[in-house]
Amino acid sequence: MIIGADVGGTFTDLVGVNNGMISTLKVPTSSIQSDAVAEGVRRLSGGSTVRAVVHGTTVATNALLERRGARTALLTDKGFEDVIEIGRQDRPSLYDPFADRPVALVARADRVGVSDPTDLPELDGIAAVAIAMIDAHSDDRVEQLLRQRLMTSHPSVPVSISSEVAPEFREFERVSTTVLNAYLTPVTAEYLSQLEDELGAGRLVSSVSIMRSSGGLMSMSDAAALPAAVLLSGPAGGVVAARAVATQLGREIVISFDMGGTSTDVCFIERGIIDVSYERSIDGYACRLPSVGVETVGAGGGSIAWIDPGGSLRVGPQSAGADPGPACYGRGGRAPTVTDANVVLGRIDPAATLGGSVDVDYQLAVEAVRRLGDELGLSTTATALGVCRIAEDVMAGAVRSVSVDRGADPSGAVLMAYGGAGGLHATAVARSLGMAGVIIPAHAGVFSALGLLAAPPRSDAVAAVHVVGIDDLVDIQRVASTLGAATTAEILAAGHEPIRTDWWLDVRYVGQSHEIAVPWNDGRDPRVVVDRFENLHRRRNGFVRTGDPIEIVAVRSSTYGSAPIALESLAGVTTSSEVAAGRRIVVSASGGPVEAAIVPRAMLGPGATVMGPAVIEDADATTFIDTGECATVAFNGALEVSW
């Protein structure tokens, strides 16, 4: 057996694959993530030895959001100690004078300007060190010397150097990424060590891999040394699986839609290519490591509905989390959430057991939503509908961000919804944007965990260059070959066989401040690079400057191994004709109560059709098919919803 384990805000999802057969499990997320992961692995494996565990973790993300990282020192050139605080001198919100940048992760007293690399500062109380010299992207000798001396004088203190973490120009982004990495290293390393101890007890697991933000796998030791590369570990798994299912169904343009307990993550996928970003801001901190181009909004099943000072109903980003969770969990939560609203509307079974472990308390959900409605002067039903609609508007904004805002028309795209709550809101979001349809894949409630098993081992590298005019790519080919050799060697060192290497060039017009990553393979004709750049530039910005000089500022390389599984090789969906559909009153989007068919997904085989209004219930997820909508089961078990 191999197991994918994805930690969410409410549940930890696990998928086991053994000889092509799938088994799934949800366990409540624990305060120490490794406890829930280890418990789930033991339960899913039945105590038998597991060949491999692939883990999507939020430990680095949570440590950053909660500011629980290590006390970090920054060593940089004298006079540049405040680069991480000065940033780009832009404001977080142009018209809000009270919106502040996040506090720097390194206190002013812990930033050291270095003029003599042989004169090391005192590091009393420091748990991690970031070294980021201003010209290290082109000359790393000072950084290497400083690290060597620090490792001798302070062997227990982890050191991150910018020439290895993010060897690119733009000193602010490089320094910020290096500081992020150092700040998160002790916390992440401690967690992974604890996880390894728990999973290794009794030889339970042979190997553990960690999902990296770029959509590939890395070893535990690499993740412990480069935690900034796993800041979007969890969402990447679902995006990988969404690409695989889209390819199976022949869908060219898909937007993944992962709605969990705390947030919703969306990503644009076109012709099997996942949108990957090389410059992200995570909670206000710049990070120059590749990551799937996910847009995250604080709207999930556990998102709390509240009233702002102006008297308007709002939803999120605050979340009830796993403990106490939504009011209907019966764990002491009183604030109404999106999940409570769905229970009130009948879209979630009032007598359901969510995730196989949490019994729904219908009355507690009604009381929580009623209290909110009393403040608004609305009925309980109208309030529940309002909560859902506002959450759907927030999520639709995220879909626009990854499509319209980047020059893509969502009307030709299909929304692929997963996560425990994705199927409850996907059609409303898709219809509001004029999209072509919705796909709810098989095993939607644990889809991200399944995607972890479909992700390949991956190694990423980048080198800063400066080539003005691209009539001759000889120098670029030389850099690309060096990078490709490095990423291939890293895959081999991890015990995998390299199967493919891809390259990208960061290209821009001379004088521009931002560049576009252009797909490229060693030996390509220069004219092809220009054409691809202009096509991407026109799509993203609406224009091109034909004839203007172009420059290349970075070369990127990624090498891949073989994924643990191929989704198409898994056993097909089985059905049970013995299960009969029931009926239940639900509230439709138009606001009226209707009698809906309650259909267990287990009874739906390929070719089956369900007309709305209906609720399709699975062991780990629920799908709401509203009036005028129709769901058809595809050959791979996915529900294709049209209207």
The answer to whether the beta carbons of residues 179 and 84 sit under 8 Å apart is yes
* Distance of alpha carbon 190 from alpha carbon 202, whole angstroms: 20
Q: Tell me: the pLDDT tens digits for 359-410?
A: 899 999 999 999 999 999 999 999 999 999 999 999 999 999 999 888 888 9
Residues of the chain with pLDDT > 90, as a percent, come to 68
- Residue 276 amino acid letter: V
Main-chain phi, psi angles of 393, to 5 degrees = -65, -40
Domains, the chain, with CATH or none: 2-64+189-230 (3.30.420.40), 68-182 (no CATH), 458-562 (3.30.1490), 582-642 (no CATH)
Beta-ladder partners of 259: 264
Mean pLDDT of 20-48: 88
In order of 160, 204, 237, 561, 634, the CA distances from 491 in angstroms are 21, 25, 19, 7, 36
The answer to whether the beta carbons of residues 597 and 583 sit under 8 Å apart is yes
Q: Tell me: the pLDDT tens digits for 130-179?
A: 999 999 999 999 999 999 999 999 999 999 999 999 999 999 999 999 99
Q: Give residue 606's pLDDT band: very low, low, confident or very high (50, 70, 90).
A: very high
Tokens 């991956």: give the residue: 458
Return all residues near 25 (Cβ < 8 A) that are at least 6 apart.
Answer: 13, 14, 16, 40, 43, 44, 356, 446
Q: Give residue 577's pLDDT band: very low, low, confident or very high (50, 70, 90).
A: very low
Sign, CA torsion 120/126/127/129: negative
Check pLDDT > 70 for residue 3. Answer: yes
Check pLDDT > 50 for residue 546. Answer: yes
Q: Tell me: the pLDDT tens digits for 245-267?
A: 999 999 999 999 999 888 899 99
Beta-ladder partners of 280: 287
Beta-ladder partners of 55: 5, 210
Q: Tell me: the pLDDT tens digits for 340-362?
A: 999 999 999 998 888 777 889 99
* Distance of alpha carbon 309 from alpha carbon 489, whole angstroms: 57
* Distance of alpha carbon 166 from alpha carbon 638, whole angstroms: 40
The answer to whether the beta carbons of residues 77 and 114 sit under 8 Å apart is yes
H helix intervals, 201-270:
220-225, 233-249
Return all residues near 182 (Cβ < 8 A) that are at least 6 apart.
Answer: 70, 72, 128, 129, 130, 158, 159, 160
* Distance of alpha carbon 335 from alpha carbon 320, whole angstroms: 8
Which pair of structure tokens corresponds to residue 489?
A: 């060697």
Q: Tell me: the pLDDT tens digits for 279-319?
A: 888 888 999 999 998 888 888 899 999 999 999 999 988 88
Helices 171-200 and 33-45 pack at an angle, to 10 degrees, of 50
Tokens 């089956």: give the residue: 608
Q: Tell me: the pLDDT tens digits for 404-443?
A: 888 888 998 999 999 988 999 999 999 999 999 999 999 9
* Distance of alpha carbon 2 from alpha carbon 512, whole angstroms: 47
Return all residues near 5 (Cβ < 8 A) that are at least 6 apart.
Answer: 12, 13, 14, 37, 40, 41, 53, 54, 55, 56, 449, 452
In order of 38, 337, 480, the CA distances from 197 in angstroms are 10, 37, 39
* Distance of alpha carbon 281 from alpha carbon 295, whole angstroms: 11
How crowded is the C-beta side of 635, counted as CA atoms within 13 Å?
6
Select from 466, 461, 514 the least CA-distant residue to 488: 461
H helix intervals, 250-332:
none
The answer to whether the beta carbons of residues 496 and 457 sit under 8 Å apart is yes
Q: Give residue 201's pLDDT band: very low, low, confident or very high (50, 70, 90).
A: low
Between 313 and 197, residue with greater pLDDT = 313
Check pLDDT > 60 for residue 526. Answer: yes
Number of neighbours of residue 603 by Cβ within 10 angstroms = 15
Average pLDDT of the chain, as a whole number: 91
In order of 77, 107, 111, the CA distances from 82 in angstroms are 10, 10, 8
Mean pLDDT of 475-494: 94
Give the least confident one: 104-118, 317-331, 530-544: 317-331
Return all residues near 346 (Cβ < 8 A) that are at least 6 apart.
Answer: 584, 585, 586, 587, 593, 596, 615
- State residue 11's pLDDT score: 82
The 3-state secondary structure of 360-388, one letter per residue? CCHHHHHHHHHHHHHHHCCCHHHHHHHHH
The answer to whether the beta carbons of residues 297 and 398 sit under 8 Å apart is yes
The answer to whether the beta carbons of residues 7 and 57 sit under 8 Å apart is yes
Residues of the chain with pLDDT > 70, as a percent, come to 97
Dmax (CA) of the chain: 78
Select from 466, 620, 416 the least CA-distant residue to 8: 620
- Residue 248 amino acid letter: Q
Q: Where are the beta strands (DSSP E) in 434-493?
A: 437-440, 458-468
Q: Where are the beta strands (DSSP E) in 115-204?
A: 128-131, 159-161
* Distance of alpha carbon 308 from alpha carbon 407, whole angstroms: 33
DSSP letter at 574 equals P
Check pLDDT > 90 for residue 9. Answer: no
- State residue 283's pLDDT score: 83
The answer to whether the beta carbons of residues 237 and 455 sit under 8 Å apart is yes
The 3-state secondary structure of 44-75, one letter per residue? HHCCCCEEEEEEECCHHHHHHHCCCCCCEEEE
The answer to whether the beta carbons of residues 402 and 329 sit under 8 Å apart is no
Q: Does the predicted model carry a pTM greater than 0.75?
A: yes
